[in-house]
Amino acid sequence: MAASAPADERTMISERIAPGMLPRVLNSFDMTIIFVAIVLFIVNASAIQQAHQAAYTYWILGFIAFLIPGALVTAQLGQMFPQEGSLYVWTQKALGPFWGFFAGFCAWWPGILVMVATGDAVVTLWQFVDTGGLPKAWEQGLVILAVLWFSAFMSMLRLRMTQSYANWAVVFYGAAIFVIGLAGILWLIGAGHSATGGWGTASNWNIHSGQWTWFGFVILALLGIEVPLNMGVEIVNMRSIKRYLFWGSLVVMFAYLWATLGTMLALPAAKSVGATTDILSAVQVGFFGSHGFAVVVALVLIWFFVSNTIVYNYSFSRLLFVSGLEQRMPAKLGTVNERTKVPVYAIVTQTVLSSLFVVAIFNPWVSGNNNQKAYWLFQAAVTVIWCISMVLLFADIFLVKRAFPAKFDEVRAAHPYVLYACGVIGMLASAFGAYVTFRSPWTSLFSVGHWRLWLAILCGISVAAAILIYAISEFMHRREAPTPTPTAA
């Protein structure tokens, strides 16, 4: 399909305009911080405790089948086309404007829902600090709205200033994760045994057919590999692309394994219900029952998730910014503030959209049970839609090779056969992650039938929205195109 797309359709307006609009301010450390902030949701180490020792099998499978292939493919595509918009640009280069916009939409839309999830994580962590606090849905909604609009305010400042703030938050976040793992080690030394038994039983490490949902969960935990390259023209040095993918992947792999180990050593996995705060309970148990120390760690995590919402807001706004430049969405989205040089209208637009979801879910007229149901549905929809975009990302490696063979050989992030293998493995892993998310509910609040029905409706509406927006933009382009006037022979 790439070969059939005319060369002028693969050329993007944003390629020419964006570099002159946005300053280059991001170095290798900044990019690594963005990667860790986007990909590493350490509360996932709590949820996966229910898989017992098989959690490690799922993590390692996710690293091999998704994270590492994704990093290699992203390195190749990012160095070939270091433009603003990452997946949007790469897919348009490979398949033309429709698929470029569709891939960009599927990569951007989950960000709207994830910002709600990070705000909800702040609420849950605060309820550990203040037991019984924020009992009502509308109170939780107000906190989430405060997190969202604080993130919008910070995202509208100069990127260098905002990024420096995010760097400090993620460094302290890393220290908190180290403490979580250390808590398990201290428990093991003090008690003389692990709180979770069965480490030597081989069957505990095995994957069973009824547990494949955990693979979808792991894929969700690893999504976002390409997101830092949404800001491709804001990178100071192109060598930062390989560096952030290498060091960021190492940090993510170690952190997930370390926090999972610490929690499993300090708390019996057989009693886990996947509560977000299990990692904090592990800290309290491991550090000699000190609730105060666990509260300190919780406050650091709260700070991180507030800061994490900021990172999501400014990094995902670049996809909306590119769609404005390409005139697929209102042109105002493709403008930047003259003073701060950031896409303010894009940031405000997606914050408003996230706020609408918060109001719809967390209000006095929705019961707590339905709040949780909506939350888990949106999280699952994020996984499915984002996985669709990742299938396109992995497919791009074959298509850009076909369309730009000289440029492909010039970059060489890895041997072509390695990249092809990564493309195949990544596509299969992404598609399978979407399938197992549909296959079984993530929570007992749903029956299998209702889970599949509502998830299909959410994903169907999202895909239909992408197609409709593209169709409207095409109609507007044709209407605005000048009519050729005949000239005398």
Measured distance CA(50)–CA(322) in Å, rounded:
41
Measured distance CA(117)–CA(96) in Å, rounded:
33
Contact assessment for residue 387 and residue 430, using Cβ atoms and an 8 Å cutoff: yes
Burial zone of 483 (CB within 10 Å; 0-12 exposed, 13-18 middle, 19+ buried): exposed
> How do residues 77-133 score in pLDDT, each as one tens digit?
999 999 999 999 999 999 999 999 999 999 999 999 899 989 989 999 999 999 888
Residue with tokens 């902030």: 37
Residue with tokens 């799922």: 58
Torsions phi, psi of 372, nearest 5? Answer: -65, -40
Q: Pick the residue with more confidence: 307 or 377?
A: 307
**Position 120: which residue type?**
D
pLDDT at 10 over 60: yes
- Mean pLDDT, all residues of the chain: 91
Q: Which residues lie closer than 8 Å to 475 by C-beta, 6 or more apart?
A: none
**pLDDT-derived band at 367, boundaries 50, 70, 90:** low
pLDDT at 324 over 60: yes
First to last CA, the chain: 39
pLDDT of residue 442: 79
pLDDT at 265 over 60: yes
pLDDT of residue 487: 45
**pLDDT-derived band at 275, boundaries 50, 70, 90:** confident
**pLDDT-derived band at 3, boundaries 50, 70, 90:** very low
pLDDT of residue 2: 41
Q: Pick the residue with more confidence: 4 or 286?
A: 286
The alpha helices in 130-206, defined as continuous H runs, are 137-155, 159-191
Q: Token pair of 64, please?
A: 């091999």
pLDDT at 152 over 60: yes
> How do residues 191-209 score in pLDDT, each as one tens digit?
999 999 999 898 889 987 7
> How do residues 35-61 score in pLDDT, each as one tens digit?
999 999 999 999 899 899 999 999 999
Measured distance CA(214)–CA(158) in Å, rounded:
39
Residue 84: beta bridge partners? 231
**pLDDT-derived band at 5, boundaries 50, 70, 90:** low
Average pLDDT in the 412-441 region? 92
pLDDT at 251 over 90: yes
pLDDT at 4 over 50: no
Residue 73: beta bridge partners? none
**pLDDT-derived band at 377, boundaries 50, 70, 90:** confident
Average pLDDT in the 231-239 region? 94
Q: Token pair of 221, please?
A: 């935990």
28-32, 93-97, 173-177 — which is least confidently predicted?
93-97
Residue with tokens 């000289």: 406
Contact assessment for residue 215 and residue 433, using Cβ atoms and an 8 Å cutoff: yes
Percent of the chain with pLDDT over 90: 73
pLDDT of residue 1: 41
Average pLDDT in the 416-436 region? 94
> b/e map of 418-451 (b: 16 or more CB within 10 Å)?
ebeebbebbbebbebbbebbbebbbeebbeeeeb
Average pLDDT in the 259-283 region? 92
pLDDT of residue 299: 97
> How do residues 443-489 score in pLDDT, each as one tens digit?
778 899 999 999 999 899 999 999 999 999 988 877 775 554 444 43
Average pLDDT in the 249-270 region? 96
pLDDT at 148 over 70: yes
pLDDT of residue 489: 39
For residue 231, the tally of other CB atoms under 10 A from its CB is 27
Measured distance CA(38)–CA(30) in Å, rounded:
12
